[in-house]
């Protein structure tokens, strides 16, 4: 009886070992596929994160440009007065006024863009 018992025991252990090996290999294969390829959720989260980052960069870039335009406007106004009265009668009066108008227009356009970006948030 012990020989017969040993034979059955060996078969059961062999079957269990084989089954465990197949399950382990299957699990490892599926796990490596999950790690190797991004899931749809991960891709969507990454897209949203990149989009938010791009919006912040755009916001900061426009803010910096507005600040530089304002500095240029202040320099012109300091030199020629707020109403550009000191430029009257000079040879470059029309150029100064045109530059001042252009800077004001560009600043207003950028402020509108900044407002639109702020509304998206």
Sorted by where each begins, the domain ranges of the chain are 1-37, 39-121
**Crossing angle, helix 40-80 and helix 93-120, to 10 degrees?**
150
Q: pLDDT tens, 71-97?
A: 999 998 888 887 877 777 777 788 888
Closest CA to 48 of 111, 110, 115, 120: 120
Asked if residue 1 has pLDDT above 50, the reply is: no
What pLDDT, on the 0 to 100 scale, is given for residue 36?
Answer: 67
> Per the structure block, which two tokens stand in for 45?
């989260």
Q: pLDDT tens, 19-71?
A: 999 998 888 887 777 666 767 788 889 999 999 999 999 999 999 999 999 99
What pTM was computed for the model? 0.63
For residue 119, name the pLDDT band (cuts at 50, 70, 90). confident
């Amino acid at each position: 009886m012990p020989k017969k018992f040993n034979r059955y025991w060996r078969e059961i252990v062999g079957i269990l070992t084989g089954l465990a090996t197949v399950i382990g290999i299957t699990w490892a294969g599926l796990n490596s596929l999950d790690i190797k390829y991004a899931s749809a959720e991960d891709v969507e989260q990454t897209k949203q994160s990149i989009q938010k980052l791009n919006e912040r960069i755009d916001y900061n870039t426009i803010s910096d440009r507005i600040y530089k335009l304002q500095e240029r406007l202040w320099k012109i106004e300091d030199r020629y007065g707020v109403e550009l009265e000191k430029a009257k009668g000079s040879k470059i009066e029309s150029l100064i006024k045109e530059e001042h108008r252009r800077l004001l227009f560009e600043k207003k356009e950028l402020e509108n863009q900044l407002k639109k970006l702020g509304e998206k948030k």
